[in-house]
């Protein structure tokens, strides 16, 4: 279903600490399934702040995709949402 997009948001489990390796696996698997053209970062703050602060979350996601191209990184953090929301 090419019209379906995914927000990568609110990573973690209730009652558990925010875990980089567990969340990295989920993020990379989601991107593998949907591709950068259909994935976009979403923070879900302030609720996500119960487990991780905003700067730490953005930094962690950026680190998870550091081996990807600059075009792919831009897609996740900006371009896909801009296109999807017609901004």
Instruction: Encode pLDDT of 3-58 as tens digits.
Output: 999 999 878 777 788 899 999 999 999 999 999 999 999 988 888 888 889 999 99
pLDDT at 15: 78
Residue 27 backbone phi and psi in degrees, to 5: -65, -50
Tell me: cis bond preceding 46? Omega within 30 of 0 counts. yes
Q: Which two tokens stand for residue 44?
A: 């879900």
C-alpha 26, offset from chain centre: 9
The residue ranges of every structural domain in the chain are 6-84
Average pLDDT (79-85) is 97
d(CA 54, CA 86): 25
SS3 8: strand
């Amino acid at each position: 279903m090419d019209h379906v997009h995914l927000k990568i948001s609110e990573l973690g489990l209730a009652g558990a600490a925010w875990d980089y390796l567990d969340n990295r696996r989920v993020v990379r698997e989601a991107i593998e399934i949907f591709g950068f053209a259909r994935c976009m970062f979403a923070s879900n703050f302030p609720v996500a702040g119960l487990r991780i602060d905003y700067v730490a979350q953005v930094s962690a996601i950026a680190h998870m995709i550091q081996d990807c191209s600059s075009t792919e990184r831009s897609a996740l953090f900006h371009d896909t949402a801009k296109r999807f929301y017609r901004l």
